[in-house]
Amino acid sequence: MKILGIETSCDETSASVICDGRVASNVVSSQRCHTSFGGVVPELASREHERLIVSIADAAITEANITKKELDVIAATAGPGLIGAVMVGLCFAQGLAWALGVPFIPVNHIEAHMFSPFIDEGPSHRAPEGAFISLTVSGGHTLLSVIEQDLSYAVIGRTLDDAAGEAFDKTGKMLGLPYPAGPEIDRLAGDGDPKFHEFPRALTSRSQTSKSYDGNFDFSFSGLKTSVLTFLQKQKPEFITANIQNIAASIQWAIVSVLVEKTIAAARSRGIKEIAIAGGVSANSGLRAMMHAACKKEGFTLYLPGAVYSTDNAAMIATLAGVKLSRGMKAERLYNIAPFASFSSGRPKP
């Protein structure tokens, strides 16, 4: 089966072809027009998607060495995301499916991230046979979920304010780092001391180390942002410049340690020994290293997406569509699916 996936939820325009469960192509164009604004400008994102979508889709089909007429199914992100951006890819994909007379499958962007660690990267990336814990840290979302073998899942924790990715970008902006600031903080933190300054770790407690812990798995990073701002305002510019690596390491530890602690506690409390991390922040080297160490200590199995599949991409969209079809979902010729902006407003069952 040949599936074309389309992803335009934020500032990446992407198309991918999956042939019999394997990635035949995955073309991603990351928009650079937002850099000077320090964040994604929704209207600019929509215009860039509109400008690029046809050429990106054509490139993916060509790279897969097939023709449009050979496609069996087309899938696209229906949300969540910037509504104008989502509409570009969704309308394009539905129109193409209608023109070709093939089924269209709407995909939840966050759900696709959850399964991105299992895109065809070899035996170490095969999906667990039973339930697993998913930590999804993508854009404005930070979610802890229990995913069952039948692809159903329950969200047991989520961010109450800023997400982890937003915390990286906003604190990085305070440090004068270019957008997106997450990779820059990660780079600087590699040569810094995470214990240089103790920033707050909200909604955490020592009781979370207990195997019987079954409490609050929600996240909050707005207090960290305020604490970093207050700290920087008290310092002289030359102090910040001299210690920027240590400050970055301290910020990163405050974010990453909370993610790891709550994920491990969730796995312990439910007797689940397999954990998957997904989303843009899953590329953070500090998070990967700390989660690897924690899982090794606990005897848990850790699943991570390949670097190219951590950020937004269409391979995860097409892959999840293929997984749904392999698990019994019926592909229908529906071409009037409406987009949705938030995770809670239109979350279909996988």
- Tell me what pLDDT residue 126 has: 64
**Average confidence (pLDDT) over 127-136:** 88
Residue bearing the bigger pLDDT, 50 or 211: 50
More confident residue, 120 or 168: 168
Average pLDDT over residues 267-293: 96
**Mean per-residue pLDDT for 165-184?**
93
* Cis bond upstream, residue 180 (ω within 30): yes
| The pLDDT value given to residue 327 | 75
pLDDT at 151: 76
Question: What average pLDDT does range 165-192 have in this prediction?
Answer: 94
Amino acid at site 119: I
Lowest-confidence pick of 77-91, 203-217, 272-286, 320-334: 203-217
pLDDT above 90 as % of the chain: 72
Tokens at 163, concatenated: 């997400």
Kindly tell me if the per-residue pLDDT of 130 is higher than 80: yes
What pLDDT is recorded for position 323?
A: 85
Give the Cα separation of 46 and 343 in Å (integer): 19
Q: Is 312 annotated as a binding residue?
A: yes
Mean per-residue pLDDT of the chain: 89
pLDDT above 90: residue 255: yes
Does residue 57 register a pLDDT over 70? Answer: yes
Residue 313 assigned to a binding site? no
Q: Quick one: pLDDT at residue 211?
A: 46
Exposed/middle/buried for residue 173 (C-beta within 10 Å: 0-12, 13-18, 19+): middle
Any binding-site annotation on 182?
A: yes
Residue 297, number of CB atoms within 10 A of its CB: 9
Three-state secondary structure readout of the chain: CEEEEEECCCCEEEEEEEECCEEEEEEEEECCCCHHHCCCCHHHHHHHHHHHHHHHHHHHHHHCCCCHHHCCEEEEEEECCCHHHHHHHHHHHHHHHHHHCCCEEEEEHHHHHHCHHHCCCCHHHCCCCCCEEEEEEECCEEEEEEECCCCCEEEEEEECCCCHHHHHHHHHHHCCCCCCCHHHHHHHHCCCCCCCCCCCCCCCCHHHHCCCCCCCCCECCHHHHHHHHHHHHCCCHHHHHHCHHHHHHHHHHHHHHHHHHHHHHHHHHHCCCEEEEECHHHHCHHHHHHHHHHHHHHCCEEECCCHHHHCCCHHHHHHHHHHHHHCCCCCCCCCCCCCCCCCCCCCCCC
Residue 159 is assigned to a ligand binding site? no
Q: Which pLDDT does position 122 carry in this prediction?
A: 44
The mean per-residue pLDDT over the stretch 324-335 comes to 75
Whether 287 and 281 have beta carbons less than 8 Å apart is answered as yes
Residue 36: the pLDDT is: 64
Nearest to 11 by CA among 112, 86, 93: 86
Q: What is the pLDDT of residue 177?
A: 95
Please name each of the domains of the chain with its CATH number.
2-114+310-326 (3.30.420.40), 130-305 (3.30.420.40)
Quickly state the pLDDT bin for 342 (edges 50, 70, 90): confident
Q: Is the pLDDT of residue 227 over 90?
A: yes
Sheet holding 274-278, edge to edge: 153-158, 141-147, 132-138, 274-278, 301-303
pLDDT mean over 258-263: 96
Cα-based torsion angle of the residue sequence 252, 254, 255, 259 in order, rounded to the nearest 10 degrees: 130
Tokens 């073998």 belong to 149
Mean pLDDT across 60-71: 97
Report whether 138 belongs to an annotated binding site: yes
Q: Is 25 annotated as a binding residue?
A: no
- 215 vs 145: CA distance, rounded Å: 14
Of 285 and 207, the one with more pLDDT:
285
Burial 21-59 (b: 16+ CB within 10 A, else e): eebbbbbbbebeebeeebebbbebbbbbbbebbeebbee
Nearest CA to 324 among 111, 144, 68, 26? 111
Joined together, the tokens standing for residue 148 give: 């069952």
Q: What is the pLDDT of residue 343?
A: 72
pLDDT of amino acid 341: 81
**Per-residue pLDDT band at 350 (split at 50, 70, 90):** very low
The yes-or-no verdict on residue 148 having pLDDT over 60 is yes
Cα distance between the two ends of the chain:
19
The DSSP bridge pattern shows strands 73-79 and 2-7 to be: parallel
Instruction: Report strand pairing: 73-79 vs 22-30.
Output: unpaired
Who wins on pLDDT, 124 or 325? 325
Average pLDDT over residues 308-321: 93
Q: Give the tens place of pLDDT for each residue, 8-52.
A: 998 899 999 999 989 999 999 876 665 666 667 877 889 999 999
Residue 176 assigned ligand-binding role: no
Q: What is the mean pLDDT of residues 264-271?
A: 96
pLDDT digit string, tens, across residues 73-124: 999 999 999 999 999 999 999 999 999 999 999 999 999 999 899 897 544 4
**pLDDT at residue 31, as a whole number:** 67
Whether residue 152 is annotated as binding a ligand: the answer is no
